[in-house]
Amino acid sequence: MINKILVSLCLLLALTSFAQEGSYSPYSFFGIGDQRFKGTIENRSMGGVSVFPDSIHINLHNPASFSSLKWTTLTVGGTGSWANLRTESQEEKAKRFTLDYLAVALPFKKGAVVFGLVPYSSVGYKIQSELPFGTSEDTILRRFNGSGGVNRVFVGAGYEITKNFRFGADVNFNFGKVETTSLAQLRGIQFATREINETDLSGFSANVGVSYEGKINNKLKAFGSLVYSPSANLNTKSYRNIATVQILQLGGVAIVDQDTIFYNKERTLKLPSRFSVGGGIGQPKKWLAGAEVTFTGAKDIQSRFSESSRNARFENAIKYSVGGYYIPNANSFSSYLERIVYRGGLRYENTGLVLNSQTIWDAAGTIGFGLPITGSLSNINIGLEYGKRGTKAYGLVEENYFNISVGFSFNDRWFVKRKYD
């Protein structure tokens, strides 16, 4: 079944990952944008906890878990997001629909190879403000737009070293383009000034992971996970385009003066290092509970243009996740509801972004459901997340958001020699 739909899904995600706006947040202006990929829907539904191995779901957070896969697996997921954005004086609504990841796993005797594509980060916002200009009664209208982001193609492998320990690693190629536009017009003046900043980004990165699984007694097992992502370089090439324009009635602009283009020198931006450690306990195929902490060296993050973020800086980030799942009866033949996987969790994190001397925090609660497809090991996974990021004080923006995510995990057995023709 997988090989019949693999090509079409690869093409679909490859096309939409370039076209979609994956963020609505003004906070995505900074660095290389909002981090889009936060794990598969199964992990995100447990607050981001990813310490548990799985034979039919790909855990894209820890490559060591690849070796626990027993079936050829295709996973794909997408999210619909709705948000209220509030300041002390204004309120706006936003929504986005995005594809989040596509991955394929090919298992072998004691391990597996996994490859895929994920939108790693996104820039996407539209802001308009009108403020007093100088000491006169005039006002200045400002419009800010941003789009683009960084996509990631990856290939990795995991191997079972012993019955209790697994090791894995993956290599990523990151690529993308970010474009930001600002427009300013003094009321009563016919013309406006427009500035476009565009940056191309590319570079390699890697992740390594170790996982542990061992018996406590006849029913209970303990789990552990370590993942390390060293800092990596993104090569950038940026340019700035400044023009005098006239705003048209339909919202477009007409260029009045010829654009002046300033080419920036090629720069190197750093992807921050990341280290995750987690543990859990439970009875597989019945219930599991765990916790995870992720440290990110976000203070190394830089802006695409060195002078573009005078009121912003980054500090080292930390994320706390707790969660787990429960299955009433995984082997039930009489009740479909008893075979559903019920997931839940909490997430609380310092994002690493500091604006107007205020740290931007993000907190969310999650629930999810794994719906088995009758007659196969494939399943549909649904995740719900409600959270809050930022604050409306100190001239900032408070985001209250609600996400609905849907993922498909298709499982099949390839490379099996037929006994009968």
Predicted confidence at residue 12, as pLDDT, reads 52
Nearest to 360 by CA among 82, 102, 132, 30: 30
Residue 419 lies in a domain: no
3-class SS of residue 124: coil
Residue 345 lies in a domain: yes
Residues of the chain with pLDDT under 70: 1-22, 133-137, 250-251, 258-265, 304-310, 414-421
Contact 271, 203 (CB under 8 A): yes
Predicted confidence at residue 346, as pLDDT, reads 98
Contacts of residue 251, defined as CB under 8 A and 6 or more positions apart, other chains included, come to: none
Q: How many CB atoms lie within 10 A of CB 418?
A: 5
Query: Residues 346-394: pLDDT tens digits?
Result: 999 999 999 988 999 999 999 999 999 988 889 999 999 999 999 998 8
Tokens representing 45? 């539904």
Tokens representing 40? 């598969």
Residue 281 lies in a domain: yes
Burial class (CB in 10 A: 0-12, 13-18, 19+), 217: exposed
**Ramachandran category for residue 375: left, alpha or beta (phi over 0 → left; psi -120 to 50 → alpha):** left
**Ramachandran category for residue 133: left, alpha or beta (phi over 0 → left; psi -120 to 50 → alpha):** beta
Residue 336 lies in a domain: yes
Residue 420 lies in a domain: no
Residue 253 lies in a domain: yes
Query: Residues 236-281: pLDDT tens digits?
Result: 888 888 888 887 776 677 777 766 666 666 788 888 999 999 999 9
CATH at residue 383:
2.40.160.60
Contacts of residue 8, defined as CB under 8 A and 6 or more positions apart, other chains included, come to: none
Residue 174 lies in a domain: yes
Predicted confidence at residue 110, as pLDDT, reads 92
Instruction: Determine the Cα–Cα distance for residues 286 and 239; give it in Å rounded to an integer.
Output: 55
Number of domains in the chain: 1
Contact 171, 206 (CB under 8 A): yes
Residue 310 lies in a domain: yes
Tell me the residue range of the domain where 324 lies: 2-412
pTM: 0.87
Contact 94, 24 (CB under 8 A): yes
Give counts: helices (H), strands (E), the chain.
2, 21
Instruction: Determine the Cα–Cα distance for residues 18 and 231; give it in Å rounded to an integer.
Output: 25
Predicted confidence at residue 136, as pLDDT, reads 62
Q: How many CB atoms lie within 10 A of CB 310?
A: 8
